[in-house]
Structure 1
């Protein structure tokens, strides 16, 4: 793996420069995505369309598209001279990253019940993103990120870690609620109840946004910030689309429920 990286970059300074540029590119991609999503829903699930390619089985799609977010980082951490992985702040931040994607790729897909197929374009774009972002986050943390020795006791790290953990719990619990909306043999959509769904339509999205906001606060870098910003743009759009859809679909949908931010938005 080191040989591959050395063949791609003439020096560590050049690779770090590319990582920095990639973070700014991710922010630009988020802004372009924001403009696009003003006119078009993300084509997946209830918004899937044949315009975006042939359908891919939803379990297979989730497993395969998220898997690079584990495999690429795993290779970078364990098969390169990852000089910063002996430092506690870097270890904890990498653990946050891996914890999310192990659940998302190796557990979540196999718990899905039913679910509409994923259009191929969405599937392919997700793979590209997971490779790109997996490299960006873990290469920076494993080889370049430098933190003070007492960073884990800094208010930014502590509050960020708490936010990350709270968001992870909300995300996992909300997915559990969505999976169990229908009893065996039932079809059709139902109104989510329980947990944060009592306050917002996009409880699962709120959880994941909170996760990566906490990760960005604890990580304190342009790389983690870019990831959090991209997540916010994409998932906030999904939450708004779901909220509008629920209001249209169900006459008895709770009018006090917000789209994403409890009591506010």
Structure 2
């Protein structure tokens, strides 16, 4: 938690150098699609392996695995190929991201499939039901935001435009909002410290970047919608 707090504060002053914030000075770079795959692949692969090796394979355990894989298989093996003319990503960012995903999947997978024992009845528990509904909502917001963002550029275009439509009318980083909703929901539906730590870490990483993105849009586009917030609709 202390590391998450330090990261949260630091990222308000130093934006991670990928995407629109890519800059020199962070070492060698690799193609963005390759970087995304290498960074995200450890998470679905390791979680799947831990499920196969673990002793807990109840219906609830299978549900946890399905939700996790639904997010990370898309993130690792589909999302990179939807990027339109992406900028190269530093090897250092890919490495640190892969390390985080390895540790995070290890902690969550070990807890769910080796330590915790969620019976099939957990599927009817209000925490699981509410968490799954919130996870689905976050998943939809995240994918919807990505879909609208991809539609901004015509083939061959490399510039930036003001995103319009759907959740983009409310906040400058609805894709981050969707992901935060997903992992807060994960903490609820697994009712675990492992899930809670992931949710806290997600907020610590994405909330400052959402603020940076919001400021970047306002500085770049004089006609940027004044009512649009950074991350939380109508509030922040």
Partner of 2:78, secondary structure, is: helix
Q: Deviations over 1:115-173 (max 9, x none)?
A: 11111211110110111111111121111112355222122111100000010111111
Q: TM-score, normalised by structure 2?
A: 0.96
> In 2, Cα distance between the equivalents of 1:61 and 1:40?
21
Partner of 2:197, secondary structure, is: helix
Partner of 1:51, secondary structure, is: coil
Matches within 5 A, 1:59-208: 59-78=33-52, 80=53, 82-85=54-57, 87-147=58-118, 149-208=120-179
Match of 1:245 in 2: 216
Match of 1:43 in 2: 17
> In 2, Cα distance between the equivalents of 1:185 and 1:176?
17
> In 2, Cα distance between the equivalents of 1:145 and 1:48?
41
> In 1, Cα distance between the equivalents of 2:32 and 2:220?
23
Q: Deviations over 1:56-104 (max 9, x none)?
A: 11011011111111222222222x2x1112x122221121111100000
Whether the 8 Å CA contact 2:59–2:119 is kept in 1: the answer is no
> In 2, Cα distance between the equivalents of 1:89 and 1:149?
5
Q: Give unmatched runs, 5+ long, in structure 1.
A: 1-26
Aligned equivalent of 2:180, options 183, 189, 209: 209
How many residue pairs are counted as aligned between the two chains?
Answer: 236
Q: TM-score, normalised by structure 1?
A: 0.86
Partner of 2:92, secondary structure, is: helix
Match of 2:199 in 1: 228
Change (3 A) 1:149 1:184: closer
Match of 2:27 in 1: 53
Give the aligned CA root-mean-square deviation in angstroms.
Answer: 1.2
Partner of 1:52, secondary structure, is: coil
> In 2, Cα distance between the equivalents of 1:133 and 1:140?
11
Aligned equivalent of 1:262, options 220, 233, 236: 233
Based on CA coordinates, which of the two structures has the bigger radius of gyration? 1
> In 2, Cα distance between the equivalents of 1:196 and 1:181?
15
